[in-house]
């Protein structure tokens, strides 16, 4: 794990919902740093998402303030007031403008966010800021997550090395559309805001926007990329050699974090890559990939390690792609071809299917024979524990 | 239960997959009767669906031959050959043309359908045809269903009374798109084929095409409406007074059968009506209704009787309707308004929500405040048993 010069973090236990654990995280970016972000497209987006968007538009972000345990979503006008009040509190004590603080929340939807715990904890947060707090930060933002999630890279640019480190949280209500639950990635490179935003968009499309646990896009999804500039190494354009290297490192960190979310998907016992190839375009490739990745029948068969490949075939067939030539479609389960010529591949054996299903990482590959576009979506299986966690969460 | 003059049924235990239970059903419609049908839109439709479509196009259907235990789907060319062979066998012994037989299959996908059991059972089926076999017919087509499903109406037309009786099966892989798993409805009215088809389309849109258990559209869905004409009472047009009465009875039978499927949904403990009103059009109303009806988080909360209404709000928000004015949307759980003004309704109490959630039949009503279209989708909750049934089915 590489620290990021110019990025300091602090955590505190404010008792917002959980007892005896950290539930507040403050991230500070050095003055002059830049910030890019993407947010959920859920129409019922949470109050902090609305406020964070407003503040980002004003530029010069210095602080990201996050609480876990309460999503401050579905809370109407009082929710917006609470989100703004937490920013005002922090700005007052930190000596910056309120619009330089972006708020984030994650947890239960529909409960008023109390502001008092923030008032009590902000001094602790401000006095606790250090560059070596990434691991504690990853733990402070967890909800139903069972493990903290952190990824890090060092990349050598022409002027020297810079680091890219990120954390994320998320385990249920995962089907990001524009971003994921919460993810914060930071670099000490010096990057103009538009370039930083382009790098983030590029990385998110290929990471957080290509995973699903349960198809439910959250009200609070947000992914932020900070560039402190503290390394003194500037990256001026994404298509420069240095820009490509840095963009690659950002994408690698995002992809690693996204995969961690799926591995820690609620009740998940398996990681499943649904890879669609030879599609006519991205839209149809995603239709097919998500039809398979969201199918409860496919997901329960994966949980049971049952090579019930007919369920995969049925999901592909119902994906909604018009004019599919089913006789040309081929489907693989790991290295076993299961479908060709409109039905079971002649070479397929139940033993081969079972051998693949025993593994904990499984690839389902679908060749649509219609073009040259490919897309990969990560998902997990559907187990008793998914139902247990979601029938019991909140109670 | 009303019998239908001119419609005879027979069942047999052929041992295709299940031991010691009926797994074949033959339905005969009197000569001169008419037949309408709708089929799955799954691109990987089963072999019997392909053959049934071909035969229906040739007109003058006399027999519907159905097996349970094997879907004959994902079976390629050998599957088509087997489906045609079963029709040929029956036609030979019944003395009709092969194209007067429509084949149907339901059960496991991807296994070759053996023809020998049909050859052995066809004589039994033909000699066993009687008008009072509806209950045994409903039992013979079950797979993971826990109860047989039958509905019946008598309707008085100008010329006398006619009956409408139907059976269906289905419990999982339920998200009909054009039809349901399998449903057979028959009347002794005399109805021209185009009128019969119009009545069926009308009924299916408001019944089987508005239910979902798990969002997985089957490869084998089919719904057939037979009119034997044996009552001698003719209905020449759908928009005549008699046509409206008969059409209403067909719709009532289909709706009752569709509701039975959802009540018997795999692992279901609750029936849930998702009612979307004041939508701009049917498309957006269905987007919202299905987003809620398919949400695993909403479904597990229903299973737990937990009024976790934030999950409903989140599902509405992610449904993909553009330009939603979330401040105008109102959502009710039973008689309790849970959402207004962009968040929790001021009058909502957790006690009110809990009282609704305790019931076994629950309505979720969503008012989009955008127009005057309404749509209702029936679904069920997501329980441990859904996972159990689908992790263990086939083994």
- In angstroms, what is the C-alpha Rg of chain A? 22
- Under 8 Å between Cβ of A2 and A46: no
**Three-state secondary structure call for residue A42:** coil
Residues A245 and A356 placed together within one structural domain of the fold: no
Instruction: Look at strands A330-333 and B222-227 and give their pairing.
Output: unpaired
Quick one: B243 and B321 in the same domain?
A: no
| B257 and B283, same domain (yes or no) | no
Instruction: List the structure tokens of A94.
Output: 């930190």
> Chain A residues with CB inside 8 Å of B315's CB?
216
DSSP assignment of B216-281 equals ---SS-EEEEEE--TT--B---TTSHHHHHHHHHHHHHHHHHHHHHHHTSTT---EEEEEEEEESS
CB contact under 8 A, A42 and B318: yes
Residue B336: strand pairing partners: B333
Strand duo B330-333 + B101-108: pairing: unpaired
Distance CA A65, CA A113 (A): 14
Q: Quick one: B346 and B230 in the same domain?
A: no
Give me the number of domains chain A comprises.
Answer: 2
Q: Which of B42, B44, B178, B392 to mutate to test the interface with A (most CBs of A within 10 A)?
A: B44
Contact A300 B387 (CB under 8 A): yes
- Are B113 and B70 a contacting pair, CB within 8 Å? yes
**What's the farthest any 2 CA atoms get from each other in chain A?**
71
Nearest to A296 among B214, B310, B343 (CB): B214
End-to-end CA distance of chain A: 36
- Residue B2 forms part of a structural domain: no
User: CB–CB of B73 and A383 under 8 A?
Assistant: no
pLDDT of residue A180: 45
**A304 and A256 within one domain:** no
Question: Do residue A193 and residue A325 come from a single domain?
Answer: no
Q: Inter-chain contact B390–A316, Cβ cutoff 8 Å? A: no
- The average confidence (pLDDT) of chain A is 90
Which chain B residue's Cα is nearest to A297? B390
In a domain, A371, yes or no: yes
Are B132 and B209 in the same domain?
Answer: yes
* CATH number where B93 lies: 3.60.70.12
* Residues of A with catalytic function: 180
Contacts of B11 (CB under 8 A, 6+ apart): B22, B24, B25, B26, B125, B128, B133, B136, B137, B139, B140
> A330: distance to nearest CA of chain B, Å?
12
b/e A49-74 (16+ beta carbons within 10 angstroms → b): bbbbeebbeeebbbbbbbbbbbbbbb
* B74: nearest CB among A310, A387, A395: A310
Each residue's pLDDT tens digit, A206-231: 788 777 777 777 777 788 899 999 99
B131 shares a domain with B174: yes
Residues 6+ apart with CB under 8 A from B299: B379, B380, B381, B382
- DSSP annotation of B114: P
CATH number for A369 = 3.10.20.340
Note the pLDDT tens digit of each residue in A220-261: 778 889 999 999 999 989 899 999 999 999 989 988 888 888
pLDDT tens-digit profile, chain B (395 residues) = 899 999 999 999 999 988 889 999 999 999 999 999 988 878 888 999 999 999 999 989 999 999 999 999 888 899 999 999 999 999 999 999 999 999 999 988 888 999 999 999 999 999 999 999 999 999 999 888 888 999 999 999 998 999 999 998 887 766 655 434 688 898 999 998 889 988 888 888 888 877 777 777 777 778 889 999 999 999 988 899 999 999 999 989 988 888 888 888 888 999 999 999 999 999 999 999 999 999 988 999 999 998 988 889 989 988 889 999 989 999 999 999 999 988 889 999 999 999 999 999 999 999 999 999 999 999 999 998 888 888 875 54
Q: Which residue of A has its CA nearest to B215?
A: A295
Minimum-distance CB partner of B173 among A172, A177, A297: A297
Domain that holds residue A104: 7-263
d(CA A241, CA A231): 18
Look at A44 and B110 and tell me if their CB atoms are within 8 Å: no
Give the one of A74, A321, A383 whose C-beta lies nearest to B343's C-beta: A74
**Whether A173 and B314 lie within 8 Å, measured CB to CB:** yes
pLDDT for the residue numbered B179: 39
| Dihedral sign (CA B175, B178, B182, B187) | positive
Q: Are B231 and B43 in contact (CB under 8 A)?
A: no
Domain assignment present for A153: yes
| Residue after which a domain boundary falls, among A263, A283, A309 | A263
Q: With left for phi above 0 and alpha for psi between -120 and 50, is residue A320 left, alpha or beta?
A: left
Residue A234 in domain? yes
CA distance A180 to chain B (A): 13
Contacts of A292 in chain B (CB under 8 A): none
Final residue in a domain of this structure, among A263, A295, A322: A263
Strands A160-169, A149-157: pairing is antiparallel
Helix (H) / strand (E) containing A389: helix A384-392
Nearest CA distance, B361 vs chain A (angstrom): 18
Q: How far apart, in whole angstroms, are the C-alpha atoms of residue B160 and residue B158?
A: 6
Report CB contact under 8 Å: B303, A391.
Answer: yes
- ipTM exceeding cut-off 0.90 for this assembly: no
* Sign of the dihedral through C-alpha B168, B172, B173, B174: positive
Of A44, A71, A303, the CB nearest to B387: A303
Among chain A residues, the shortest Cα distance to B393 is held by: A301
Rounded-to-integer distance, Cα A249 and Cα A262, Å? 20
Residue B360 falls within a domain, yes or no?
yes
State which H helix or E strand residue B166 sits in. strand B160-169
Examine residue B129 and state whether it is found in any structural domain, yes or no: yes
Q: In 3-state terms, what secondary structure has residue B95?
A: coil
Same domain, A17 and A92: yes
**Segment holding A300, helix H or strand E:** helix A296-303
**A148 occurs within a structural domain:** yes
Helix, strand, coil percentages in chain B from 3-state DSSP, rounded to 5: 35, 25, 40
* B384: chain A residues, CB-CB within 8 Å: 384, 387-388
B297 and B243 in a common domain: no
B161 CA: distance to closest CA in chain A (Å)? 41
Q: B34, B86, B180, B212: which one is catalytic?
A: B180
Q: Does residue A2 belong to any structural domain of this protein?
A: no
Q: Do A357 and A216 have their domain in common?
A: no
Instruction: Tell me the H-state helices in A128-175.
Output: 134-140
Q: Are residues B98 and B22 in the same domain?
A: yes
CA distance linking residue B355 with residue B334, whole number of Å: 9
Residue finishing a domain among B263, B285, B318: B263
Asked if A75 and B343 come within 8 Å (Cβ–Cβ), the reply is yes
Nearest CA in chain B to A218: B314
């Amino acid at each position: 794990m590489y620290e990021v010069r110019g990025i300091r973090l602090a955590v505190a236990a404010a008792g917002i919902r959980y007892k005896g654990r950290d539930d507040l995280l403050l991230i500070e970016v050095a003055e002059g740093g830049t910030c890019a972000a993407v947010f959920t497209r859920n129409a019922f987006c949470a109050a902090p998402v609305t406020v964070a968007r407003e503040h980002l538009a004003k530029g010069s972000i210095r602080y990201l303030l996050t609480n876990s345990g309460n999503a401050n979503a579905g809370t109407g006008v009082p929710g917006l007031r609470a989100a703004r009040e937490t920013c005002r509190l922090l700005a007052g004590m930190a000596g910056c403008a309120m619009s330089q603080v972006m708020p984030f929340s994650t947890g239960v939807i529909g409960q008023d966010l109390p502001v008092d715990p923030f008032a009590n904890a902000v001094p602790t947060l401000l006095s606790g800021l250090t560059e070596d707090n990434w691991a504690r930060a990853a733990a402070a933002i967890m909800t139903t997550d069972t493990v903290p999630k952190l990824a890090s890279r060092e990349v050598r640019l022409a002027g020297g090395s810079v680091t890219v480190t990120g954390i994320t949280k998320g385990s249920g209500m995962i089907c990001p559309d524009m971003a994921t639950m919460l993810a914060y990635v930071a670099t000490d490179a010096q990057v103009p805001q538009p370039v930083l935003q382009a790098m983030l968009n590029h990385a998110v499309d290929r990471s957080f926007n290509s995973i699903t646990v349960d198809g439910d896009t959250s009200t609070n999804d947000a992914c932020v990329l900070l560039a402190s500039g503290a390394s003194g190494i500037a990256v001026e354009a994404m298509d420069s050699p240095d820009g490509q290297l840095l963009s690659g490192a950002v994408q690698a960190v995002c992809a690693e974090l996204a995969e961690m979310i799926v591995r820690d998907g609620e009740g998940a016992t398996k990681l499943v890559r649904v890879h669609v190839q030879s599609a006519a375009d991205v839209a149809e490739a995603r239709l097919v990939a998500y039809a398979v990745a969201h199918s409860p029948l496919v997901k329960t068969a994966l949980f049971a390690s049952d090579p019930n490949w007919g369920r995969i075939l049925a999901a592909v067939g119902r994906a909604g792609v018009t004019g599919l030539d089913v006789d040309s479609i081929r489907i693989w389960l790991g290295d076993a071809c299961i479908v060709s010529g409109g039905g079971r591949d002649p070479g397929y054996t139940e033993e081969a299917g079972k051998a693949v299903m025993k593994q904990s990482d499984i690839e389902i590959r679908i060749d649509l024979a219609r073009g040259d576009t490919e897309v990969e979506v990560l998902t997990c299986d559907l187990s008793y524990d998914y139902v247990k966690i979601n029938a019991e969460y909140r109670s």
